[in-house]
Structure formats: structure tokens, C-alpha cells
Structure 1
Amino acid sequence: MTVEQSTFPTPNSTGQLSRADAALYLTRIGLPHLSNDASPSLDLLRQLQSHHITHVPFESTSIHVPNWHDDEADIELGRGTTVGLGEAAFRRIVHLKRGGYCFSINSTFALLLRWFGFRVSEVAARVFGAQGKDPEDEEVGWSWSPTSHQCAVVDWEGSEGRWFVDVGFGSAQSVIPFHDNAEQTSLPPSERFLLRQVPCLPITSTSLVPPADPLPYWIVSHWESPPSSSPSKAGYWSPVYAFTLSSISTADFIVYNHYNSTHPSAVFVNFFVCTRLSEDGSRRTLYWKEGMLEEKTGRRLAKLQTTRPGQGDREGEGKQEEWVEMKVGSVKRCLKEVFGMEFPRDYSGN
């Protein structure tokens, strides 16, 4: 009998956490002393989100690795397995100290929020197709991916408003008040995010056909400051993703998750990444795309990058870089040492 079958408690069949589950989850995100009888509040919501972001990595590793115990195997993009939701996601995040991308991380975080009495509306979003660029630039325009992201709108009994939350995009935005033109700084407060409502999704590319029955959308944008080399340039708000306020069922997210972990055009199928923000504001990121080769030997090398708060900009200043060979053994060592992941030999899952 495997460890997965014998020793991992998991959310019960109703999709709810038990008291033991909640306690394990709080320990996983660095809050072992927080009472799991705490009442929902804005302070609690902010505390849970900030600790989740700094303890649970955003990563796509298992999409590319079918067997973590074959140390000499080359890692090939898209050759792994679909990252499971529900019990499988809980096991990965809580017991194996791994992470995932939006569908596994945000859906599992929603379980924790509901344990504390928060009401969670899980919504699906389209990611902006030109991250970091200005959609008002004629050469950029408004382009959107297929529905490929999960986030949430949260409130609770007696709350004075609603709040936008997201622990599964790989960025570090904090809880944002859910109203038009709500602006919030990131975690730590070095970046700015804006939430605004528009009557319909702006479209200028051919990737989407304007709908016959347009719906109002909410757009989350990131403030792009002028680069240090061109301080005279103006900054701008660049869209991150957009969503309608419509709760999506677990069955629908299973479909979105399958597409994003198997379709040849899906972002994560073509991108190996693991990133996590530290409590001191630094970020460690391991990533690899096809074609990243060592110039002299042709070895396939992933980049392990460290960025500290206040250092550098999009031109790459102030970043520390190391290189990791794209073989299971070397990548696994990096994921253990840098991100704290666990790979028990008697665990049958991915």
C-alpha cells in the first residue's frame, strides 16, 4: 500500500476540510498558532492570503515530469501528468509541500477560506495576451487568452463589502476591495494593482469574436513604471486578466485545468516554472523554455533567478542568476533545497 493510500488525510467527499485538515493547512502556510476557530474578518483574510503566497510556490513542474524518481531522465516539456484538483491538490500542497498553478492553488485555498466561514465565489478569467505591455499602444492592442485562470471574490456574514483574492497567479497582489477603480499595493508594497469594471471585454485582436450578448467585465491591471534607462517615458496600467462575476462550478474548472495541462498551445505545457515570494520580499524563480541552451556545450539549462526588493527592473538589473541542468535529479534537488518540496519514494502520485 502506498503512502498516498494509507497515511494522507484529505478533504472529505463533500469537499470540506476537517478540523485536522485545517490545522495541517495552517501549519503548511506558516500559521500553526492561528486558531482554526477564528471568525472571518478582513484582517484574517489578508493574513491567510499573504502567508499562502509566501509559503506555497506557483509551479507547473509535474506537467513536465512523469516520474520524479528517474534522476537521470531528461525533462521534456508537456511529458508529465495533469495536476489533479480536490484531494490530489490538497495532498500536493499540504503534505508534499509543493504548489501548483491557479486551478489547484486557488481551489484549495477556497476550502481553507470556507472553513473559516468566508463566502467564496470562484470565477474564471482570461489572461491578457501581452503581459506588461500597454493595450492602448496601436502595436499591442487588446488581446486575450482562452479562459485559463481561476480567482475569487470573497465576503462573509456582516462584512461591509466584498474582496478580490488570488493566491495562484505567481504574482504578489494583496487583497483588493471589490469595487470599481480599487487600487492596492502588492506584497511587499513595491508594486501596484488596479481593479476596474468595464461594460464589456475590450477586444482589438482577431483571437476573440465580439459576443452578441456582451457582459460587464472586471479587469485587474498592474502598474508598469518607466524603466530606469528611460525615466522620461510615461508609466501605464497593463491588464493582467479579466473576469465576469459569475461563480463557476468545480466541474467546469476540471475542464479548464485539463486544457491548461494538456493542450499543445496552453502556456504551462510550454513553460517549466516554479516561483515563490519570500517574507523578506525577495523572489526565487526556476524556469525553462525550449531553446534555453548553454552556448558552449548545448546543455539544456534552467535559470534559477533571485530578485530582491528594490533591485532591478524589467531590463534585468540587480538579479542573481544560477543554472540548473534539465534532468530530473538536478531539478529535484533544486526544488527541495530552494522551495522546500518533498519527493518521498513511496508516494505513487505526482
Structure 2
Amino acid sequence: MTDHEETAGLPDTAVEQYLERIGAARPDRADAGALRELHLRHLLAVPFENLSIHLGQDIVLDEKALVDKVVAARRGGFCYELNTAFAALLRALGYRVGLLQARVIGPDGRAGIPYDHMALLVETADGERWLADVGFGDHSHHPLAFDERGPQADPSGTFVIEEVPGADGDLDVLRDGKPQYRLERRPRELADFAAGAWYHRTSPESHFTRGVICSRLTEDGRVSIAGRKLYRTVAGERTEREFGSDEDLRAAYRELFGIVLDELPVVPVPDERTP
């Protein structure tokens, strides 16, 4: 890994605070076992959420600002935010990390915009390469072996990374046979993702501007708030309920995600008269 690799920049105090945030111990060395543990702990502690978009808060693609958001503000974020912060932690712990751009594959089989998604190519001290992704919401619990082309079992399903014929070396990441995103192998710089982040926080075509989501992995399933509904999945069984009051909704954000909100996110209602 040579192109656009960032150097470790987190001070030691920030590393310790980040590890405390996700409930992980500092690993003795940057190996695959430690990466697997850090990846899972991150998913269990830090939610995938788009609250900033609906609270009128800016999203700045700056490593320090994003680490501060996750660690000091105890918030989450979406792919650009979460994977940038996680990459900073990994580099400080001795891993080599590259930022990979991907295009999310929709239910209709069509790929999204360039820089639609960010994932991480992580190289361990032993030279092993892994695809890490703590910013895709409901996805693999553990990193995927980047150079493996056979099925990879994960608690959330069976994943395959496969070559895309005639696509200049691009890779498709599949879960249970369904394409999730198309990945470029070439590492990029953080600034390259600015247009994708701007699109997702401003465009009416982006699913992030159309609704509020806050979701994280749990030990026995998943818990999510979407709009004014709570969704829980426990051992494969999903339940949902609607919040009766704003205070109930605020309490759920606080108790389930550790997010304290002075005001609730608001999704603009489209004007039907607008052509």
C-alpha cells in the first residue's frame, strides 16, 4: 500500500480516549486478531447515524474533527465520518490504512454516484490485507480478507469479494449473494470524498436527506431509530413501536445510543407543488 496512505496523527491521549469510547483494550501489536476485536467493538459502541444532516450541523471531512465527534461528543455518523475516524485510530495503533471509494449497489442493481461510500483497506504488521468497514450500517461484523475470493462466513451472513469482469480491477462485495457495493482498489485521499459527502447531505435524491436513521449493532441483534419509530432485532426477530412523545424519543436516543439532544432532528416535508 503506497498511494495516498496517511501517517499516524492521533496523540496518545486521544488514542486512549478512543479505545475507552469503544470499550477496547490497546492491542499489543497490529495484527488481524486485534483488528477483528476493534472492528466489532466499534460497531457495538458507535452508531451509524445521519442526525447532523437534520439538525443543521455541518459535516466537515477533517480527521481531527471527526475523531472529536465520535470520541468527545460521543456521536456517530455515516461512512465518511466513521471510517475516517476509525482509520485514524488504526494508524495510531500501527496499521497501514488506505481509503477506498465505492459505489453502493441499489435494489435495482444500479450503482450509485462515484465516492458514494468509503471503506478501508487495512494492512496488518504481518502483511495481511483486510477490508474494514464500520460505516455501512448493517454489514459484516468483522473485517473481510481483502484478497480472498471464496465465501467468508460472518455472524451477519456470507460475504464474497469478487472480481468484476471488464471493470479495470474493481471488486464487488456481496452479502448472501446480493451485491452491496463496487469497490475500487486504488487508495484515495480524504479530500476526494468531499463531493460524495456534499451530495449525501444536500441532495433530495440521497436517502440520507429523506429520513433520520440512528442504528447500532447489539450483542444479540440490532437497535435502530428511524424517524419516530424504534426497531429492535433480537435473535432474528424484529419488533417495532412508535414513540408517543418527543421526550420518549429523546430518552431513547440518550439511553440506547448515548446521544443527548437539545432538539430533535427534523426532516423537511417536500412541497408537492414544486415541479
Q: Name the TM-score class by shorter chain.
A: 0.7 to 0.9
Equivalent position to 1:269, from 193, 209, 226: 209
- After TM superposition, the score normalised by the length of structure 1 is 0.68
Counterpart for residue 194 of structure 1: 160
Q: Bigger radius of gyration, 1 or 2? A: 1
Over aligned residue pairs, what C-alpha RMSD do you find? 2.1
Q: May I ask how many residue pairs the two structures share in their alignment? A: 254
Q: Give 1:253's aligned residue.
A: 193
- 1:284–1:199: structure 2 CA closer, same or farther, 3 Å change rule? same
Query: Structure 1: how far apart are the matches of 2:32 and 2:8?
Result: 24
**Aligned match of 1:178:** 146
Which residue, out of 6, 26, 30, partners 1:35? 26
**2:250 & 2:65 partners in 1: Cα distance?**
20
In structure 2, what residue type is equivalent to 1:238?
Answer: K
Is 1:150 aligned with 2:118? yes
Say if 2:34 is the partner of 1:95: no
Gaps of 5+ in 1: 1-13, 66-79, 131-139, 201-213, 224-236, 289-301, 312-317, 346-350
Q: Out of 49, 55, 59, which is 1:83 matched to? A: 59
Structure 2 partner of 1:283: 222
**Aligned pairs for 1:268-347 within 5 A:** 268-278=208-218, 280-288=219-227, 302-309=228-235, 311=236, 318-324=237-243, 330-343=248-261
Work out whether residues 176 and 182 of structure 1, in 8 Å CA contact, stay in contact via their aligned partners in 2: no
What is the letter of the counterpart of residue 47 of structure 1?
A: E
Q: Is the 8 A contact 1:118 1:154 kept in 2?
A: yes
> Which deviations, in whole Å up to 9, do the C-alpha atoms of 1:108-167 show, x marking residues without a partner?
00000101111111111000111xxxxxxxxx5x311113100011113432x3111100
Counterpart CA distance in 2 for 1:22 and 1:190 is 28
Q: What is the deviation of 1:344?
A: 7.7
SS in 1 for 2:205: coil
Q: Does the alignment pair 1:55 with 2:45?
A: yes
Distance 2:249 2:194 in 1: 28
Pairwise CA distance, 1:198: 1.6
Identity %: 30
8 A contact 2:113–2:196 mirrored in 1? no
User: 1:256-307: per-residue Cα shift (whole Å, max 9, x none)?
Assistant: 21221112211211121001111x222101113xxxxxxxxxxxxx210111
Instruction: Tell me how far apart the structure 2 counterparts of residues 156 and 307 of structure 1 sit (CA, whole Å).
Output: 33
The 3-state SS of whatever aligns with 2:180 is strand
